[in-house]
Amino acid sequence: MIAFVSGPVAALAPTTAVIEVGGVGMAVQCTPNTLSTLRMGQEAKLATSLVVREDSLTLYGFADDDERQVFELLQTASGVGPRLAQAMLAVHSPDALRLAVSTGDEKALTAVPGIGKKGAQKLLLELKDRLGAPLGTGGQLGAQRVAPGPAPWTEQLSAALVGLGYAPREAAEAVSAVTPQAEAALSTGSQPPVPELLRAALQTLNRAR
């Protein structure tokens, strides 16, 4: 198992980072939150989980070991594969997921694209004794996460765009361009899907150039 990768950031894309390790570019699938912390050419260290399939080897990257552990625990629930587990972590922090499961917060899970009401109910039952209690602010990891929930979608999206090399002004314009799409999601009671908004924002920026 590849526990982590460390090296300069060689490339950034909406869902992937390439980390140069010993002269080899390692493509790592990451959430927008993780990507927003990376900068081209700067050193980075990501905790990783290697998912092996018959026709592929996919490396998923995380900000820390706690996030990776939750990613792997989520996949012990029936019907949850690596993509859905990553989508859950794109919407909620590990502690927010622990809180949602421990309190039976169905609405928090249905905010994740791909999870409906029945799926959320099933996940709450299966994950109840697996994720554990929220870490809160008492431990070291809890102290790193100021709030248990995700940052507002505008901050997540803006940080991801700046991390991809766009100027803050360009990022702000792109966020404004996709705001109607985000508001449409909010009007239905769902959280704005940041990965989809990121793709739409990038399309807007590419058309402007």
CATH of domain 153-208: 1.10.8
Both tokens of residue 182? 């985000």
65-144 fold: DNA polymerase; domain 1 (1.10.150)
d(CA 161, CA 201): 8
Question: How many Cβ atoms from other residues are within 10 Å of residue 180's Cβ?
Answer: 8
User: Looking at residue 165, what is its pLDDT?
Assistant: 74
Give me the residue spans of the domains in the chain.
4-62, 65-144, 153-208
Backbone angles phi, psi at 12, to 5 degrees: -135, 140
Residue showing tokens 């979608």: 153
Find the angle CA(53)-CA(119)-CA(180) to the nearest 5 degrees.
Answer: 95
Please report where in the chains the tokens 């803006």 appear, as a residue.
158
CATH number corresponding to 4-62: 2.40.50.140
Q: For 13-167, where are the E strands, in sequence order?
A: 16-21, 24-29, 43-53, 56-62
Structure tokens of 21?
Answer: 């390790």
Tens of pLDDT, residue by residue, the chain (209 residues): 788 999 999 998 888 999 999 999 999 999 888 888 888 899 999 999 999 888 888 999 999 999 999 999 999 999 899 999 998 998 888 888 999 998 999 988 988 878 899 999 999 999 988 887 777 643 333 333 333 444 467 877 777 777 677 787 888 888 888 888 888 877 877 777 777 888 888 888 876 55
pTM of the model: 0.67
